[in-house]
A and B are shown apart, each in its own frame.
With several copies, the nearest count.
Chain A
């Protein structure tokens, strides 16, 4: 089980491989992973850059907590969260969540739980750069599931 914050760009596939190498191959039959990456558009506007602010101690503790919750709620072997902070460019990976289990149902449910909890409760704040300047995303027009 691992939750990490990264100040530099990361490559999700490399991270998945590295983490999987530590698992007991043959014991899991399913891995579900989610990668959220930066789009070059949001709420109808082009976005050229983004800065992601966080509250280091609280954010990391929160990510660790939801990993523990996922492990206690579903029969999974392991799970992983890696999350960026700082300055990002379009197409940069922002977040990776993944879960490994014997069967696919648990892996899907746990992976989805991690990203839903992270999205709705983790202390991160996005500031986007658009043609009309910078804006905090929580002040921007919201979209249902952006």
Chain B
């Protein structure tokens, strides 16, 4: 199973990774993706995640070809 994984903003800086491609049969959930992509770092509180541009929870299932993203709370756009 091949997955594109992306990290954004402060999470990208903490993890030290912007993009990584995983290729492993053992991955089932978004949380598994985090563990493998970060070498087992703890997941910060309030981390948001998305599969293929949709917000999901950490226990959501992933499938081959998915793009999985992790990011901190949004602080976007306006006042």
Contact = CB atoms under 8 A, between A and B. Distances in A.
Direct contact of A and B (CB under 8 A): yes
Interface of A: 29-30, 34, 36-37, 39, 52-55, 57-58, 61-62, 83, 94-95, 102-104, 115, 118-127, 136-139, 145-146
Give me the 6 closest cross-chain CB pairs, A-B, nearest first: A124-B76, A36-B78, A29-B79, A125-B9, A137-B75, A58-B53
Tell me whether chain A's interface is mostly helix, strand or loop, or mixed: mixed
A53 B79 contact: no
B75 A102 contact: no
8 contacts: A30-B79, A53-B9, A55-B50, A58-B50, A83-B77, A122-B76, A136-B9, A139-B10
Contacts of B75: 124-126, 136-138
A45 to B, nearest CB: 15
A37 B11 CA distance: 26
